[in-house]
């Protein structure tokens, strides 16, 4: 089978591309990345330096005409997590009015407008997406599933914690794959029992084996997207979406699964390098501040308006445990200022933060992928906080290609 053509949205510094290209089965034909918060487009600078400037668009995706995007087989992207509520549908049209700035609707617009629709979709987001917003648990994901079903895609999702499958970072993200109605995978999914698909036969199950924990729940999504958005799961404390599931033709089937993995585990100690640059070492004088921020607290705090309230939080491991996979990297990981969330490791040369290369290793990026003139170490850390664990994309990419290939071969027999 030929390589699949890929369109990479919200490309950042290219985590999806790295993972897919490792399989040798995918070819990125167009990518888009635009950082709204800064004038200089640092992530695009890195992307273009590594992969070339050809076919890379550095424009707000909301403003990119669909005609600029070449036809592709697979659309991928880790889009920002936002409020996906739907205000109203456009009269006499299938279009939707999503709020401006909400990037899901850019994906939706492209999928709606493209005459040759991508056959497959592959998206990533924070696992919180399955539960948001807090006032209407699961609504955002329901809107997303429903809008994809309306565009003729079936969806399969799973929350994957990379560390549970031998990768170096405890990064828990929801990955979801979409299959267009015209594909063999769609037809096979339609004919397979949901439990069997989720546990054995699905693309995700073949890449990341799981065991069942509890019974499968099934429910239908309301027919109309606006009323679904307004009324989904109102006043219920819990989201109906469990960590694994499928949704096809407005029918949701969801199941709690647990990781089935007996391989080795990568530890934080495994990714450390020798670091000599003094900027990463914690000065003696700052240690009390770090200890305070990392420590448990129970104190009375005051708001700006003078209102007093009780504040409490538990302690963080300090320094970080070297004999476990690392905690999640966040965007604020870089910079010298003491913080509750930055990683700090005790090494033979002292107490220090993680280097840019170590952060890249935690996401399984090539070393120095983000090293470039004009890109600070703080920016490099920011990129890794935004990115994903490349190994997860690689394994899912492999599984998807294998599945498509096998089904095509069956057709030829
Ligand atoms: C969660 S990150 C994805 C990172 C990527 N997967 C990687 O490996 O680096 C989301 C990306 O979307 C970009 N973004 C935010 N708003 C955008 C917009 N309006 N148009 C295009 N890209 C946007 C951000 O700059 C960020 O790089």
Helix, strand, or coil (residue 185): helix
Closest CA to 345 of 292, 289, 297, 274: 274
Q: Are residues 64 and 159 in the same domain?
A: yes
Identify the three-state secondary structure at position 14: coil
How many Å apart are CA 353 and CA 336, to the nearest integer? Answer: 8
Using CB atoms within 10 A of its CB, is residue 105 exposed (0-12), middle (13-18) or buried (19+)? buried
Q: Are 141 and 129 in contact (CB under 8 A)?
A: yes
Show the tokens assigned to 403: 């599945």
Structure tokens at 312: 């409490």
User: Tens digit of pLDDT for each residue in 164-197?
Assistant: 999 999 999 999 999 999 999 999 999 999 999 9
Residue at 302 is within a domain: yes
According to DSSP, the residues that pair with 220 across neighbouring strands are: 251
Taking 90 as the threshold, does the pLDDT of residue 84 lie above it? no
Write down which residue in 205, 228, 262 finishes a domain: 262
* Per-residue pLDDT band at 93 (split at 50, 70, 90): very low
Task: Assess whether pLDDT exceeds 50 at residue 96.
Answer: no
- Using one digit for the tens of pLDDT, what is the confidence trace for 277-333? 999 999 999 999 999 999 999 999 999 899 999 999 999 999 999 999 999 999 999
Can you give the residue range of the structural domain that contains 196? Answer: 4-262
Shared domain check, 210 and 157: yes
Q: Catalytic: 81? A: yes
Residue/partner pairs of 274-282 with CB below 8 Å, 24 or more apart: 274/349, 275/347, 275/349, 275/352, 275/355, 275/358, 276/349, 277/355, 279/336, 279/377, 280/352, 280/353, 280/354, 280/355, 281/349, 281/350, 281/351, 281/352, 282/338, 282/344, 282/350, 282/351, 282/352, 282/353
**Is 22 domain-assigned?**
yes
- According to DSSP, residue 327 is labeled P
- Do you know the residue count of the chain? 413
Q: What's the gap in Å between 187 CA and the centre of ligand 1? A: 32
Q: Is the CB of 110 under 6 A from ligand 1?
A: no
**From the alpha carbon of 60, which atom of ligand 1 is closest?**
20
CATH number for the domain harbouring residue 348: 3.90.120.10
Say whether pLDDT at 95 is over 70.
no
Q: How does DSSP classify residue 200?
A: I
Residue 94 has pLDDT above 60, yes or no: no
- In short, whether 122's Cβ falls inside 6 Å of ligand 1 is no
Q: What percent of the chain has pLDDT over 90?
A: 86
Taking 70 as the threshold, does the pLDDT of residue 98 lie above it?
no
Same domain, 371 and 307: yes
Percent of the chain past pLDDT 70, that is, above it, reads 95
For residue 248, is it within any domain?
yes
Q: CATH number for the domain including 63?
A: 3.40.50.150
Judge if the beta carbon of residue 393 lies within 6 A of ligand 1: no
411 within some domain: no
End position of a domain, from candidates 262, 297, 320: 262
| 385 CB near ligand 1 (under 6 Å) | no
Decide whether any atom of ligand 1 lies within 6 Å of the 15 Cβ. yes
Task: Say which residue the tokens 């509750």 belong to.
Answer: 340
- The number of beta carbons lying within 10 Å of the beta carbon of residue 15 is 26
Task: Give the closest residue (by CA) to ligand 1 atom 21.
Answer: 34
In a domain, residue 397? The reply is: no
Nearest to 374 by CA among 82, 40, 68: 40
> What spacing in Å lies between the alpha carbon of 376 and ligand 1's midpoint?
18
The catalytically annotated residue of 49, 81, 322, 407 is 81
Q: Are residues 360 and 245 in the same domain?
A: no
Q: Is the same domain home to 208 and 82?
A: yes
Give residue 320 CA to ligand 1 midpoint distance, Å. 29
């Amino acid at each position: 089978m030929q390589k699949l053509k890929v369109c990479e949205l919200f490309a950042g510094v290219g985590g999806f591309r790295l993972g897919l290209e490792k399989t040798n089965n995918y070819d990125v034909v167009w990518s888009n990345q635009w950082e709204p918060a800064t004038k200089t487009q640092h992530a695009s600078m890195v992307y273009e330096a590594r992969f070339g400037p050809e076919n890379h668009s550095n424009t707000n995706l909301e403003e990119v005409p669909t005609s600029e995007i070449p036809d592709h087989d697979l659309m991928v992207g880790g889009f920002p997590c936002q409020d996906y509520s739907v205000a109203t549908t456009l009269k006499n049209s299938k279009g939707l009015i999503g709020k401006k700035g909400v990037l899901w609707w850019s994906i939706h617009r492209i999928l709606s407008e493209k005459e040759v629709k991508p056959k497959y979709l592959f998206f990533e987001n924070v696992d919180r997406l399955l539960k948001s917003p807090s006032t209407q648990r699961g609504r955002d994901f329901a809107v997303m599933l429903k809008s994809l079903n309306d565009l003729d895609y079936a969806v399969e999702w799973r929350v994957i914690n990379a560390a549970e499958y031998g990768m170096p970072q405890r990064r828990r993200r929801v990955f979801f794959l979409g299959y267009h109605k015209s594909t063999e995978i769609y037809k096979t999914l339609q004919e397979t029992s949901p439990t069997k698909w989720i546990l054995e036969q699905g693309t995700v199950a073949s890449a990341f084996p799981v065991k069942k924990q509890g019974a499968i729940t099934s429910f239908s999504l309301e027919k109309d997207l606006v009323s679904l958005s307004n009324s989904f799961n109102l006043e219920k404390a819990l989201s109906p979406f469990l960590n694994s599931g499928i949704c096809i033709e407005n029918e949701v089937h969801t199941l709690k699964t647990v990781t089935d993995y007996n391989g080795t585990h990568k530890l934080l100690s495994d990714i450390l390098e020798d670091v000599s640059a003094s900027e990463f070492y914690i000065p003696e004088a700052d240690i009390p501040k770090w200890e305070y921020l990392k420590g448990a607290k129970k104190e009375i705090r005051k708001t700006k308006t003078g209102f007093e309230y009780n504040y409490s939080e538990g302690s963080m491991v300090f320094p970080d445990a070297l004999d476990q996979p690392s905690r999640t990297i966040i965007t604020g990981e870089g910079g010298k200022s003491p913080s509750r969330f930055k990683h700090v490791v005790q090494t033979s040369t002292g107490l220090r933060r993680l280097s840019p290369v170590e952060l890249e290793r935690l996401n399984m990026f090539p070393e120095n992928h983000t090293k470039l003139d004009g890109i600070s170490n703080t920016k490099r850390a920011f990129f890794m906080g935004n990115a994903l664990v490349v190994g997860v994309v690689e394994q899912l990419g492999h599984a998807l290609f294998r599945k498509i290939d096998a089904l095509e071969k069956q057709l030829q027999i």
